[in-house]
Structures are given as structure tokens and as C-alpha cells.
Amino acid sequence: MRYIVEGDVIFHTGSPESSGTLVNIGRYGMLVRTNVLVPEGTILRVGFTVDEYPAELQGRSQVVRTSADLLAIQFLGEVRGMPQLLLWLERENVPWAGQDTPEGCSLLQSPQASEAGPASSALQEEREELEAILPLLDAMG
């Protein structure tokens, strides 16, 4: 599953450090909002935190899609601590945005609100915004 979360992302495309915010995350990748332009195929070192989760996670990744101010990032290999984070997100009943697959970090349509669990109006707005841009990302794929 891809969980709708908030958090901070730091990524390196070489020596300069860039930042963004998490939109959603799953076992195989994440969607990041940033005003930094990074070409598809770029290999990144990423460090990220999920709000209210006590640990920072790090790993290698690759940009698989871009759109306006978004980067779809696929993890290259297992991110240490990811299984624990995903269990925590599930236990906390964090809303989710679809299935997470290893094939190109696929981003799917969001489930209906009744399936997603409780969500604040801010998360609902974020979900609607994602639904509007996901077809664009899929078309780029």
C-alpha cells in the first residue's frame, strides 16, 4: 500500500543537498513534492522522516517519473527500517492511496474515502489533488 503521509525528504543528486516533502510512501517508493527539477532516471541518496514516527530512514533510489512539482521515486533495494515504518503506519490507521508495486513504482487511483479510513479535510484535499495528477504521471510512464 502507499500511505498518505507528511514528512521531510532530503536528497542528494551529487554533492548539493535538496529537499522536499512526502506526499505518499510505500515499500517500493515514494512521491515527493519539491521545486527542484530532477530528470527521470537520476539516482539519488535519500533520507526521510514521517511526521510523528521516531526514526529517519535512508536509502538509494531513482527518479522514475516527474510532473510539475512532484518526483516519483523508486527505492533501489530494501530501505533499512521500512518494514517497521509500514507496520507503524498500518497500526496508526494512516489513510492509503493505492497499491505499491515494484514495477516502475506504479501510482494507482485512490480508494473511496469509505475504504481509506478516517481522514482530515486536508488529507481529503491532498487525495483529490493526487487524483488529478496521477493520470499525468501514468501517461509519462
> What domains does the chain contain, in order, with CATH numbers?
3-140 (2.40.10.220)
Q: What is the pTM of this model?
A: 0.70
Residue owning grid cell 482530515? 120
Distance CA 107, CA 38 (A): 19
Among 27, 35, 28, which Cα is nearest to 9's?
35
Question: pLDDT digit of tens for each residue in the chain (141 aa)?
Answer: 899 999 999 999 877 899 999 999 999 999 999 999 999 999 999 999 999 999 999 999 999 999 989 999 999 999 999 999 999 999 998 888 766 666 544 443 333 333 444 445 656 666 666 666 666 555 544
Cα–Cα distance for residue pair 126/129, rounded to 1 Å: 5
